[in-house]
Amino acid sequence: MDGYIGIIVIVALAAVLAVGGLFLLFRPKAKDLPPVETPPEPPAPVITEPRPVGQGERDGGGATTLPPPAEELLRPPPVEVPPPSAGRMVRLRDRLARSQNVLGRGLLELLSRDRLDDDVWDEIEEILITADVGVAPTRVMVDDLRTKVKVLGSRTPDEVRKLLREELLGQVGTDLDRTLHTSAPGDRPAVVLVVGVNGTGKTTTSGKLARVLVGDGAKVVLGAADTFRAAATDQLQTWGDRVGAAVVRGPEGGDPASVAFDAVAKGIEEKADTVIVDTAGRLHTKTGLMDELGKVKRVIEKKAEVDEVLLVLDATTGQNGMRQAQVFAEVVNVTGIALTKLDGTAKGGIVISVQRELGVPVKLVGLGEGPDDLAPFDPEVFVDALIGD
Ligand SMILES: Nc1nc2c(ncn2[C@@H]2O[C@H](COP(=O)(O)OP(=O)(O)OP(=O)(O)O)[C@@H](O)[C@H]2O)c(=O)[nH]1
Protein backbone atom coordinates (compact mmCIF):
# COMPACT_ATOMS: atom_id res chain seq x y z
CA MET A 1 0.00 0.00 0.00
CA ASP A 2 2.85 2.38 0.97
CA GLY A 3 4.41 1.64 -2.40
CA TYR A 4 1.21 2.75 -4.19
CA ILE A 5 1.04 5.98 -2.23
CA GLY A 6 4.67 6.75 -3.09
CA ILE A 7 3.97 6.19 -6.80
CA ILE A 8 0.88 8.44 -6.68
CA VAL A 9 2.89 11.22 -4.95
CA ILE A 10 5.68 10.94 -7.54
CA VAL A 11 3.17 11.06 -10.48
CA ALA A 12 1.39 14.03 -8.91
CA LEU A 13 4.69 15.86 -8.43
CA ALA A 14 5.73 15.15 -12.05
CA ALA A 15 2.35 16.47 -13.31
CA VAL A 16 2.72 19.72 -11.30
CA LEU A 17 6.28 20.22 -12.64
CA ALA A 18 5.18 19.56 -16.24
CA VAL A 19 2.34 22.11 -16.08
CA GLY A 20 4.65 24.72 -14.51
CA GLY A 21 7.28 24.15 -17.22
CA LEU A 22 4.71 24.53 -19.99
CA PHE A 23 3.51 27.80 -18.44
CA LEU A 24 7.04 29.18 -18.32
CA LEU A 25 7.63 28.14 -21.95
CA PHE A 26 4.47 29.67 -23.50
CA ARG A 27 3.97 32.68 -21.23
CA PRO A 28 3.02 35.80 -23.39
CA LYS A 29 6.01 38.06 -24.06
CA ALA A 30 5.84 41.79 -23.43
CA LYS A 31 5.65 42.60 -27.16
CA ASP A 32 2.66 40.27 -27.62
CA LEU A 33 0.72 42.11 -25.00
CA PRO A 34 -1.96 44.47 -26.20
CA PRO A 35 -0.61 48.02 -26.16
CA VAL A 36 -1.36 50.01 -23.15
CA GLU A 37 -3.82 52.68 -24.08
CA THR A 38 -2.20 56.07 -23.60
CA PRO A 39 -4.25 59.24 -23.75
CA PRO A 40 -3.78 61.06 -27.14
CA GLU A 41 -1.44 64.01 -27.18
CA PRO A 42 -3.22 67.35 -27.28
CA PRO A 43 -2.95 69.01 -30.81
CA ALA A 44 -0.06 71.40 -31.27
CA PRO A 45 -1.27 74.98 -30.90
CA VAL A 46 -1.66 76.90 -34.30
CA ILE A 47 0.56 79.91 -33.99
CA THR A 48 -0.46 82.60 -36.45
CA GLU A 49 1.50 85.75 -37.10
CA PRO A 50 -0.50 88.79 -36.06
CA ARG A 51 -2.09 90.42 -39.13
CA PRO A 52 -1.71 94.14 -39.52
CA VAL A 53 -4.69 95.66 -37.84
CA GLY A 54 -7.25 96.96 -40.32
CA GLN A 55 -9.33 99.96 -39.53
CA GLY A 56 -12.45 97.91 -38.90
CA GLU A 57 -10.64 95.49 -36.59
CA ARG A 58 -9.06 98.35 -34.71
CA ASP A 59 -12.57 99.49 -33.89
CA GLY A 60 -13.60 95.97 -33.01
CA GLY A 61 -15.78 95.96 -36.12
CA GLY A 62 -14.64 92.59 -37.54
CA ALA A 63 -14.81 92.56 -41.36
CA THR A 64 -16.28 96.01 -41.81
CA THR A 65 -13.95 98.68 -43.15
CA LEU A 66 -14.42 102.31 -42.52
CA PRO A 67 -14.70 104.61 -45.55
CA PRO A 68 -11.58 106.65 -46.24
CA PRO A 69 -11.55 110.09 -44.70
CA ALA A 70 -13.42 112.80 -46.62
CA GLU A 71 -10.28 114.65 -47.78
CA GLU A 72 -8.99 111.39 -49.30
CA LEU A 73 -12.24 111.01 -51.30
CA LEU A 74 -12.00 114.55 -52.60
CA ARG A 75 -8.36 114.27 -53.63
CA PRO A 76 -8.14 113.62 -57.43
CA PRO A 77 -6.20 110.49 -58.44
CA PRO A 78 -2.56 111.24 -59.23
CA VAL A 79 -1.99 112.25 -62.85
CA GLU A 80 0.00 109.64 -64.75
CA VAL A 81 2.94 110.36 -66.99
CA PRO A 82 2.55 107.96 -69.92
CA PRO A 83 5.61 106.75 -71.81
CA PRO A 84 6.53 108.54 -75.06
CA SER A 85 5.34 107.01 -78.34
CA ALA A 86 8.80 106.24 -79.76
CA GLY A 87 9.58 102.52 -79.86
CA ARG A 88 6.05 101.49 -78.87
CA MET A 89 5.56 99.16 -81.79
CA VAL A 90 8.87 97.45 -81.03
CA ARG A 91 7.66 96.92 -77.46
CA LEU A 92 4.41 95.39 -78.76
CA ARG A 93 6.10 93.36 -81.48
CA ASP A 94 5.60 90.03 -79.71
CA ARG A 95 1.83 90.45 -79.80
CA LEU A 96 1.99 90.84 -83.56
CA ALA A 97 4.39 87.96 -83.97
CA ARG A 98 2.00 85.72 -82.02
CA SER A 99 -1.21 86.70 -83.81
CA GLN A 100 0.23 86.88 -87.33
CA ASN A 101 2.31 83.73 -87.08
CA VAL A 102 0.62 81.95 -89.99
CA LEU A 103 0.89 84.89 -92.36
CA GLY A 104 4.63 85.46 -91.87
CA ARG A 105 6.19 82.17 -90.82
CA GLY A 106 3.73 80.12 -92.88
CA LEU A 107 4.75 81.92 -96.06
CA LEU A 108 8.42 81.65 -95.14
CA GLU A 109 8.14 77.92 -94.62
CA LEU A 110 6.35 77.34 -97.94
CA LEU A 111 8.76 79.52 -99.93
CA SER A 112 11.71 77.65 -98.42
CA ARG A 113 10.64 74.31 -99.89
CA ASP A 114 12.93 72.78 -102.51
CA ARG A 115 10.15 72.24 -105.02
CA LEU A 116 7.59 75.00 -105.48
CA ASP A 117 4.88 73.29 -107.52
CA ASP A 118 1.35 74.52 -108.18
CA ASP A 119 0.06 73.00 -104.95
CA VAL A 120 2.54 75.03 -102.92
CA TRP A 121 1.59 78.23 -104.78
CA ASP A 122 -2.06 77.46 -104.07
CA GLU A 123 -1.23 77.16 -100.38
CA ILE A 124 0.63 80.48 -100.48
CA GLU A 125 -2.39 82.10 -102.09
CA GLU A 126 -4.70 80.61 -99.49
CA ILE A 127 -2.61 81.97 -96.62
CA LEU A 128 -2.74 85.47 -98.12
CA ILE A 129 -6.48 85.37 -98.74
CA THR A 130 -7.18 83.97 -95.26
CA ALA A 131 -5.11 86.78 -93.72
CA ASP A 132 -7.37 89.33 -95.48
CA VAL A 133 -4.72 90.62 -97.85
CA GLY A 134 -7.52 90.86 -100.43
CA VAL A 135 -7.95 89.13 -103.77
CA ALA A 136 -6.24 91.65 -106.05
CA PRO A 137 -3.18 92.24 -103.82
CA THR A 138 -2.85 88.48 -103.31
CA ARG A 139 -2.69 87.94 -107.04
CA VAL A 140 -0.05 90.65 -107.39
CA MET A 141 2.03 89.16 -104.57
CA VAL A 142 1.88 85.60 -105.86
CA ASP A 143 2.89 86.71 -109.37
CA ASP A 144 5.75 88.80 -108.00
CA LEU A 145 7.02 86.01 -105.78
CA ARG A 146 6.80 83.44 -108.61
CA THR A 147 8.91 85.63 -110.89
CA LYS A 148 11.50 86.38 -108.21
CA VAL A 149 11.82 82.74 -107.17
CA LYS A 150 12.37 81.74 -110.82
CA VAL A 151 15.11 84.35 -111.18
CA LEU A 152 16.81 83.18 -107.99
CA GLY A 153 16.79 79.48 -108.81
CA SER A 154 18.06 77.62 -105.78
CA ARG A 155 17.43 79.65 -102.63
CA THR A 156 19.26 79.90 -99.32
CA PRO A 157 17.10 80.56 -96.23
CA ASP A 158 18.47 84.10 -96.05
CA GLU A 159 17.52 84.77 -99.67
CA VAL A 160 13.96 83.52 -99.08
CA ARG A 161 13.58 85.73 -96.03
CA LYS A 162 14.92 88.78 -97.89
CA LEU A 163 12.62 88.08 -100.83
CA LEU A 164 9.51 87.80 -98.66
CA ARG A 165 10.46 90.79 -96.52
CA GLU A 166 10.85 92.98 -99.61
CA GLU A 167 7.58 91.77 -101.08
CA LEU A 168 5.60 92.39 -97.89
CA LEU A 169 7.20 95.79 -97.35
CA GLY A 170 6.39 96.72 -100.93
CA GLN A 171 2.74 95.84 -100.35
CA VAL A 172 2.45 97.51 -96.92
CA GLY A 173 4.21 100.59 -98.30
CA THR A 174 7.24 102.32 -96.85
CA ASP A 175 6.74 105.64 -98.60
CA LEU A 176 3.22 106.54 -97.45
CA ASP A 177 2.98 109.60 -95.23
CA ARG A 178 1.92 108.21 -91.87
CA THR A 179 2.38 111.44 -89.93
CA LEU A 180 -0.46 111.99 -87.47
CA HIS A 181 -1.49 115.60 -87.80
CA THR A 182 -1.64 116.36 -84.11
CA SER A 183 0.01 119.73 -84.17
CA ALA A 184 -1.18 122.64 -86.23
CA PRO A 185 0.62 125.59 -87.71
CA GLY A 186 0.07 128.89 -85.92
CA ASP A 187 -1.33 129.15 -82.44
CA ARG A 188 -4.45 127.02 -82.72
CA PRO A 189 -4.66 123.40 -81.62
CA ALA A 190 -4.74 120.59 -84.16
CA VAL A 191 -8.14 118.89 -84.34
CA VAL A 192 -8.44 115.10 -84.60
CA LEU A 193 -11.89 113.66 -85.33
CA VAL A 194 -12.33 109.98 -84.41
CA VAL A 195 -15.01 108.08 -86.38
CA GLY A 196 -16.16 104.53 -87.05
CA VAL A 197 -18.91 101.95 -86.56
CA ASN A 198 -20.04 100.74 -83.13
CA GLY A 199 -17.62 98.91 -80.89
CA THR A 200 -14.53 99.24 -83.06
CA GLY A 201 -12.66 100.96 -80.23
CA LYS A 202 -13.14 104.69 -80.90
CA THR A 203 -13.37 105.82 -77.29
CA THR A 204 -10.52 103.56 -76.24
CA THR A 205 -8.41 104.80 -79.14
CA SER A 206 -9.21 108.45 -78.33
CA GLY A 207 -8.12 107.86 -74.73
CA LYS A 208 -5.00 105.95 -75.72
CA LEU A 209 -4.09 108.60 -78.28
CA ALA A 210 -4.41 111.28 -75.59
CA ARG A 211 -1.89 109.26 -73.57
CA VAL A 212 0.46 108.96 -76.55
CA LEU A 213 0.38 112.73 -77.08
CA VAL A 214 0.66 113.63 -73.39
CA GLY A 215 3.57 111.17 -73.18
CA ASP A 216 5.20 113.11 -76.01
CA GLY A 217 4.74 116.35 -74.07
CA ALA A 218 1.56 117.76 -75.65
CA LYS A 219 -1.41 119.46 -73.99
CA VAL A 220 -4.63 117.69 -74.97
CA VAL A 221 -8.36 118.46 -74.73
CA LEU A 222 -10.86 115.64 -75.26
CA GLY A 223 -14.32 116.20 -76.71
CA ALA A 224 -16.95 113.61 -75.75
CA ALA A 225 -19.20 113.99 -78.79
CA ASP A 226 -20.56 110.47 -78.29
CA THR A 227 -23.63 111.86 -76.55
CA PHE A 228 -25.58 108.77 -77.55
CA ARG A 229 -23.89 106.47 -75.03
CA ALA A 230 -23.52 107.96 -71.53
CA ALA A 231 -20.93 105.33 -70.62
CA ALA A 232 -18.70 106.47 -73.48
CA THR A 233 -18.57 109.97 -71.99
CA ASP A 234 -17.67 108.62 -68.55
CA GLN A 235 -15.11 106.32 -70.16
CA LEU A 236 -13.47 109.28 -71.91
CA GLN A 237 -13.58 111.31 -68.71
CA THR A 238 -11.61 108.56 -66.95
CA TRP A 239 -9.02 108.49 -69.73
CA GLY A 240 -8.72 112.29 -69.53
CA ASP A 241 -8.49 112.38 -65.72
CA ARG A 242 -5.69 109.83 -65.73
CA VAL A 243 -3.41 112.04 -67.83
CA GLY A 244 -4.71 115.43 -66.77
CA ALA A 245 -6.48 116.23 -70.06
CA ALA A 246 -9.61 118.42 -69.90
CA VAL A 247 -12.77 116.69 -71.13
CA VAL A 248 -15.63 118.65 -72.68
CA ARG A 249 -18.93 116.83 -72.35
CA GLY A 250 -22.53 117.60 -73.16
CA PRO A 251 -25.91 116.41 -71.90
CA GLU A 252 -26.86 112.82 -72.68
CA GLY A 253 -28.63 112.74 -76.02
CA GLY A 254 -27.46 116.30 -76.73
CA ASP A 255 -26.21 117.62 -80.05
CA PRO A 256 -22.81 116.03 -80.79
CA ALA A 257 -21.86 118.88 -83.15
CA SER A 258 -22.29 121.39 -80.34
CA VAL A 259 -20.06 119.35 -77.97
CA ALA A 260 -17.42 119.07 -80.70
CA PHE A 261 -17.57 122.84 -81.26
CA ASP A 262 -17.25 123.55 -77.52
CA ALA A 263 -14.30 121.17 -77.25
CA VAL A 264 -12.43 122.98 -80.01
CA ALA A 265 -13.29 126.34 -78.41
CA LYS A 266 -11.91 125.08 -75.10
CA GLY A 267 -8.76 123.83 -76.85
CA ILE A 268 -8.21 127.28 -78.39
CA GLU A 269 -8.90 129.03 -75.09
CA GLU A 270 -6.55 126.76 -73.14
CA LYS A 271 -3.87 126.95 -75.83
CA ALA A 272 -3.89 123.18 -76.15
CA ASP A 273 -1.77 121.43 -78.76
CA THR A 274 -4.45 118.92 -79.80
CA VAL A 275 -8.20 118.49 -79.46
CA ILE A 276 -9.40 114.90 -79.93
CA VAL A 277 -13.13 114.59 -80.66
CA ASP A 278 -14.64 111.15 -80.02
CA THR A 279 -17.89 110.49 -81.91
CA ALA A 280 -20.67 107.96 -81.46
CA GLY A 281 -20.47 104.63 -83.26
CA ARG A 282 -22.69 104.62 -86.32
CA LEU A 283 -23.55 102.10 -88.96
CA HIS A 284 -22.33 103.20 -92.33
CA THR A 285 -25.66 102.04 -93.77
CA LYS A 286 -27.73 104.55 -91.77
CA THR A 287 -27.91 107.67 -93.88
CA GLY A 288 -29.27 109.87 -91.07
CA LEU A 289 -26.37 109.04 -88.77
CA MET A 290 -23.81 109.51 -91.52
CA ASP A 291 -25.32 112.94 -92.30
CA GLU A 292 -25.02 113.80 -88.60
CA LEU A 293 -21.30 112.96 -88.74
CA GLY A 294 -20.87 115.23 -91.76
CA LYS A 295 -22.53 117.98 -89.73
CA VAL A 296 -20.18 117.44 -86.74
CA LYS A 297 -17.23 118.03 -89.06
CA ARG A 298 -18.75 121.09 -90.73
CA VAL A 299 -19.61 122.69 -87.37
CA ILE A 300 -16.05 122.15 -86.06
CA GLU A 301 -14.75 123.79 -89.22
CA LYS A 302 -16.53 127.01 -88.25
CA LYS A 303 -14.00 127.23 -85.45
CA ALA A 304 -10.89 125.46 -86.79
CA GLU A 305 -9.74 123.18 -89.54
CA VAL A 306 -10.02 119.43 -88.92
CA ASP A 307 -6.43 118.25 -89.35
CA GLU A 308 -6.93 114.52 -89.02
CA VAL A 309 -9.98 112.31 -89.50
CA LEU A 310 -9.11 108.96 -87.97
CA LEU A 311 -11.25 106.04 -89.01
CA VAL A 312 -11.14 103.33 -86.35
CA LEU A 313 -11.39 99.88 -87.93
CA ASP A 314 -11.62 96.63 -86.00
CA ALA A 315 -9.09 94.26 -87.62
CA THR A 316 -11.16 91.23 -86.62
CA THR A 317 -14.09 92.26 -88.82
CA GLY A 318 -12.06 91.57 -91.96
CA GLN A 319 -13.47 92.45 -95.34
CA ASN A 320 -16.67 93.88 -93.85
CA GLY A 321 -14.49 96.69 -92.56
CA MET A 322 -13.64 97.63 -96.13
CA ARG A 323 -17.19 98.62 -97.01
CA GLN A 324 -17.49 100.67 -93.80
CA ALA A 325 -14.25 102.41 -94.64
CA GLN A 326 -15.45 103.40 -98.09
CA VAL A 327 -18.68 104.98 -96.83
CA PHE A 328 -16.96 106.89 -94.01
CA ALA A 329 -14.33 108.13 -96.45
CA GLU A 330 -17.06 109.56 -98.70
CA VAL A 331 -18.75 111.44 -95.84
CA VAL A 332 -15.85 112.84 -93.82
CA ASN A 333 -12.71 112.53 -95.95
CA VAL A 334 -10.75 110.05 -93.82
CA THR A 335 -7.05 110.92 -93.56
CA GLY A 336 -5.75 108.03 -91.47
CA ILE A 337 -6.72 104.61 -90.18
CA ALA A 338 -6.40 103.32 -86.65
CA LEU A 339 -6.51 99.55 -86.91
CA THR A 340 -7.54 98.10 -83.55
CA LYS A 341 -7.50 94.59 -82.06
CA LEU A 342 -4.63 93.46 -84.26
CA ASP A 343 -3.50 91.44 -81.25
CA GLY A 344 -6.56 89.21 -81.46
CA THR A 345 -6.65 88.18 -85.10
CA ALA A 346 -4.52 86.45 -87.71
CA LYS A 347 -5.95 88.81 -90.33
CA GLY A 348 -3.09 91.32 -90.38
CA GLY A 349 -3.29 91.41 -94.18
CA ILE A 350 -6.07 93.97 -93.79
CA VAL A 351 -3.30 96.58 -93.47
CA ILE A 352 -2.52 95.94 -97.13
CA SER A 353 -6.09 95.74 -98.42
CA VAL A 354 -7.52 98.73 -96.58
CA GLN A 355 -4.73 101.04 -97.71
CA ARG A 356 -5.06 99.84 -101.28
CA GLU A 357 -8.86 100.21 -101.36
CA LEU A 358 -8.99 103.59 -99.64
CA GLY A 359 -5.66 105.07 -100.57
CA VAL A 360 -5.40 106.11 -96.90
CA PRO A 361 -2.47 104.96 -94.72
CA VAL A 362 -2.73 102.99 -91.50
CA LYS A 363 -1.31 105.42 -88.94
CA LEU A 364 -2.03 103.71 -85.64
CA VAL A 365 -2.41 100.11 -84.53
CA GLY A 366 -4.12 98.81 -81.42
CA LEU A 367 -2.32 95.83 -79.97
CA GLY A 368 -4.13 95.17 -76.70
CA GLU A 369 -6.46 96.48 -74.06
CA GLY A 370 -3.77 98.08 -71.91
CA PRO A 371 -3.66 101.90 -71.76
CA ASP A 372 -0.37 102.06 -73.65
CA ASP A 373 -1.16 99.38 -76.24
CA LEU A 374 -1.62 101.83 -79.12
CA ALA A 375 1.37 102.45 -81.37
CA PRO A 376 2.21 104.60 -84.38
CA PHE A 377 2.33 102.14 -87.26
CA ASP A 378 5.81 101.24 -88.50
CA PRO A 379 5.83 99.03 -91.64
CA GLU A 380 9.33 97.62 -91.03
CA VAL A 381 8.58 96.57 -87.45
CA PHE A 382 5.29 95.11 -88.68
CA VAL A 383 6.88 92.99 -91.41
CA ASP A 384 9.78 91.88 -89.20
CA ALA A 385 7.31 90.81 -86.53
CA LEU A 386 5.46 88.73 -89.14
CA ILE A 387 8.43 86.80 -90.45
CA GLY A 388 10.64 86.81 -87.34
CA ASP A 389 14.34 87.67 -87.23
N1 LIG B 1 -7.71 93.38 -77.67
C2 LIG B 1 -7.95 94.65 -77.98
N3 LIG B 1 -9.11 95.22 -77.58
C4 LIG B 1 -9.34 96.51 -77.92
C5 LIG B 1 -8.42 97.26 -78.68
N6 LIG B 1 -8.94 98.50 -78.87
C7 LIG B 1 -10.14 98.51 -78.25
N8 LIG B 1 -10.40 97.32 -77.67
C9 LIG B 1 -11.58 96.92 -76.90
O10 LIG B 1 -12.75 97.07 -77.72
C11 LIG B 1 -13.88 97.30 -76.89
C12 LIG B 1 -14.71 98.43 -77.47
O13 LIG B 1 -14.01 99.63 -77.32
P14 LIG B 1 -14.72 101.07 -77.24
O15 LIG B 1 -13.62 102.07 -77.24
O16 LIG B 1 -15.71 101.13 -76.15
O17 LIG B 1 -15.49 101.08 -78.63
P18 LIG B 1 -16.33 102.26 -79.30
O19 LIG B 1 -16.03 102.21 -80.75
O20 LIG B 1 -16.05 103.57 -78.64
O21 LIG B 1 -17.80 101.79 -79.00
P22 LIG B 1 -19.20 102.58 -79.35
O23 LIG B 1 -19.10 103.94 -78.71
O24 LIG B 1 -20.26 101.71 -78.77
O25 LIG B 1 -19.28 102.65 -80.81
C26 LIG B 1 -13.33 97.57 -75.51
O27 LIG B 1 -13.51 96.41 -74.73
C28 LIG B 1 -11.86 97.83 -75.73
O29 LIG B 1 -11.06 97.49 -74.63
C30 LIG B 1 -7.20 96.61 -79.11
O31 LIG B 1 -6.35 97.16 -79.81
N32 LIG B 1 -7.03 95.31 -78.73
pLDDT digits (tens, 9 = 90+) for 9-59: 555 545 544 444 443 334 433 333 334 343 344 333 323 222 333 333 333
Percent of the chain at pLDDT > 90 equals: 51
Percent of the chain at pLDDT > 70 equals: 80
Give the pLDDT score at 217.
93
Closest CA to 212 of 378, 44, 389, 375: 375
Ligand 1 geometric centre to CA of 317 (Å): 13
Kindly give the number of the ligand 1 atom that is closest to the alpha carbon of 367. Answer: 31
Give the pLDDT score at 195.
95
Give the pLDDT score at 238.
95
Nearest alpha carbon, ligand 1 atom 29 = 369
Ligand 1 geometric centre to CA of 173 (Å): 27
Domains and CATH numbers, the chain: 190-334 (3.40.50.300)
Give the pLDDT score at 340.
95
Kindly give the number of the ligand 1 atom that is closest to the alpha carbon of 232. Answer: 23
Cβ proximity of 359 and 311 under 8 Å: no
Contacts of 118 (CB under 8 A, 6+ apart): none
Give the pLDDT score at 308.
97
Mean pLDDT value of segment 303-317: 94
Ligand 1 environment, Cβ below 6 A: 196, 198-204, 226, 229, 232, 280-281, 340-341, 343-344, 366-369, 373
Strand order in the sheet with 362-366: 246-249, 220-225, 274-279, 190-195, 308-314, 336-340, 362-366, 374-376
Ligand 1 geometric centre to CA of 46 (Å): 50
Give the pLDDT score at 289.
85
Nearest alpha carbon, ligand 1 atom 30 = 341
Q: Which residue has the higher pLDDT, 180 or 82?
A: 180
Q: Which residue has the higher pLDDT, 16 or 296?
A: 296
The pTM of this model reads 0.79
Cβ proximity of 335 and 309 under 8 Å: yes
Q: Which residues sit in the known binding site for GTP?
A: 196-203, 278-282, 340-343
- Amino acid (1-letter code) at residue 296: V
Ligand 1 geometric centre to CA of 282 (Å): 14
Ligand 1 geometric centre to CA of 201 (Å): 3
Closest CA to 243 of 196, 199, 193, 207: 207
Mean pLDDT value of segment 145-157: 87
Give the pLDDT score at 129.
92
Give the pLDDT score at 66.
56
Give the pLDDT score at 77.
67
* 253 pLDDT above the threshold of 50: yes
Mutate to test the pocket of ligand 1, among 95, 98, 198, 204 (most ligand atoms within 8 A of CB): 204
Ligand 1 geometric centre to CA of 385 (Å): 23
Give the pLDDT score at 72.
64
* 186 pLDDT above the threshold of 60: yes
Q: Which residue has the higher pLDDT, 245 or 35?
A: 245
Out of 128-137, 240-249, 301-310, 313-322, least confident range: 313-322
Q: Which residue has the higher pLDDT, 19 or 123?
A: 123
Mutate to test the pocket of ligand 1, among 340, 350, 372 (most ligand atoms within 8 A of CB): 340
Nearest alpha carbon, ligand 1 atom 10 = 201
Distance between CA atoms of 228 and 212, rounded to whole angstroms? 26
Nearest alpha carbon, ligand 1 atom 1 = 368
Ligand 1 geometric centre to CA of 211 (Å): 16
Mutate to test the pocket of ligand 1, among 369, 372, 373, 374 (most ligand atoms within 8 A of CB): 369
* 165 pLDDT above the threshold of 80: yes
- Mean pLDDT over all residues of the chain? 82
Give the pLDDT score at 16.
47
Nearest alpha carbon, ligand 1 atom 5 = 341
Ligand 1 geometric centre to CA of 340 (Å): 8
